[in-house]
Structure 1
Amino acid sequence: MNAIAIRDLTVSKRSPKRTKDNKGRHPLVGPASFAVPHGEVIGLYGPSGVGKSTMLRALVGLLPDGLDAEGVIRVLGVDVLRQRPSALAELRTRAVLVPQIAVMFPDGIIGNTLFGLRHVVRAPANQLRKRAEEALAEVGLWDEVRDRLNAPAAELSVGQRQRLALARALALDPEVILLDEPTSALDEASAAEVEETLQSLRGHRTLLVVSHDIEQLKRLCDSLVPLHRPTSTSN
């Protein structure tokens, strides 16, 4: 079974103007069909405005109000478009979206790494702490921050913050990680560090990576999936 299976997926924006048949919509994504096998790294690419980031949000049920998805989305066996909110919340601990801009909470480095764990995992504090430290090591950040774990995460460099956001996701031990332009805001050296981290995850995690950099996707991924501009409709 595939980790992700998409069939005839479309995402559209509801028109603010009511049409005669009340179906006025502006297409944003699709129709798209593809699959991501367990353990593989798949790259999603296409021109600006094609809906790559919207696609990632749709996969875990995080589309904003006003956007509607139709078709089939199955992630880790969950029928995303027909699932209740509580089940989607649980799915998002197993399939984690790491956004393009790393979000840092007003807390220390270790507190940021622990953020998701504290909300979804019931375990003694020392066990949670151990998982967070292991995640920092997995992204190559441990040696850089081990002597200042309580320092504000906002003091880290942009590249370090991006790796910290990835560590926060990895601390949950997810089966799938969705990465939205993981290096677009980074300098060359920081981008290389993030790429090295992603390379180390190959074969251990299922990754779906969105990037405008096709050469980067060729380096990182087992195969690539193009997204095309949405098909215009009159509905």
Structure 2
Amino acid sequence: MDHVIAVRELRVRDRDKMLVGPVSFSLKQGSTTGLCGPSGAGKSTVLRVLVDLLPTGLAREGHLEVLGRPIMPRRGDAGLRTKVVLVPQTPVVFGGSILDNALFGIRHVMRASRETLRDRAEQALKEAGLWKEVCDRLDSPAQNLSAGQRQRLCLARALALEPAALLLDEPTSALDERSRDTVEESVAALRGKRTVLLVSHDPAQVARLCDTTVQLDLPAVSQRPAAVG
């Protein structure tokens, strides 16, 4: 299957007020796509549409497919959010150990031995670029991690689910330059291996990390090759 996610003529309304759209784009297998646009253009709203988590009162129109299957709004498809995983702007770290956090999502959808789950967590932490920093302290509190490490832990938690697509909402906006660079390295390592939709306000970051961009304007959208530089 060429496209993991296909969106056609997507609109989001708050009663008579148009908030987003019309938006049309697709995410190819293994691609990293930047979702760009001015503040208030609805970038985060588009991400929430893709996991069917629009706030109450908002309505979506248009066509959404994930892995070739139409996704109808507000149908409570629990499996959707294991196929398309949203990593929010502010890293959410739960009480408990680093290992507990890495396994938080997968434990709810996969019945397996502790050893199998630990192996899955190790692979996810490696893919997120965090393993070498935490491999000798997996039972330590996750709250002790730095901001950049917390963001990569959230990335590992998502990767442990083996999702069809990752949605990253401004993953470095709250980080210092050093932590930003480390998180960017982890995202760059996913290129060609995972399907990623990245929301970013930084055109230079999009150029570094993305194959294509979706420019979300008020109210139109276009898709073009990412800038080189």
Normalising by structure 2, we get a TM-score of 0.92
Choose the corresponding residue for 2:43, options 52, 70, 82.
52
The whole-number CA distance in structure 1 between the counterparts of 2:61 and 2:28 is 22
Question: Structure 1 residues 214, 48: CA separation in 2 closer, same or farther (over 3 Å shift)?
Answer: same
Indicate if the aligned counterparts of 1:43 and 1:208 stay in contact, CA closer than 8 A: yes
Indicate if the aligned counterparts of 2:7 and 2:24 stay in contact, CA closer than 8 A: yes
Superposed, which structure 2 residues align to 1:25-104 within 5 Å?
Answer: 25-81=16-72, 84-85=75-76, 88-104=77-93
Indicate if the aligned counterparts of 1:60 and 1:80 stay in contact, CA closer than 8 A: no
Indicate if the aligned counterparts of 1:70 and 1:81 stay in contact, CA closer than 8 A: no
- Deviating beyond 4 angstroms after TM superposition, the runs of 4 or more aligned structure 1 residues are none
Q: Which residue of 2 aligns with 1:212?
A: 201
Q: Which residue of 1 aligns with 2:7?
A: 6
Instruction: Give the deviation of 1:82 after TM superposition.
Output: 5.2
Instruction: Give the deviation of 1:13 after TM superposition.
Output: 1.5
The whole-number CA distance in structure 2 between the counterparts of 1:59 and 1:115 is 21
The answer to whether 1:168 aligns with 2:157 is yes
What is the SS of the residue equivalent to 1:115?
coil
Q: Could you tell which deviates more after superposition, 156-165 or 133-142?
A: 133-142
Instruction: Give a deviation string over 1:124-158, Cα, whole Å, max 9, x none.
Output: 11101110011111112111112221222111111
Indicate if the aligned counterparts of 1:69 and 1:81 stay in contact, CA closer than 8 A: no
The whole-number CA distance in structure 2 between the counterparts of 1:82 and 1:183 is 30
Aligned residue pair count: 219
The whole-number CA distance in structure 1 between the counterparts of 2:201 and 2:73 is 31
What is the SS of the residue equivalent to 2:104?
helix
Unaligned runs of 5+ in 2: 221-229
What is the SS of the residue equivalent to 2:105?
helix
Structure index of larger Rg: 1
Indicate if the aligned counterparts of 2:12 and 2:58 stay in contact, CA closer than 8 A: yes
More helix by share: 1
Q: C-alpha root-mean-square deviation of aligned residues, in Å?
A: 1.3
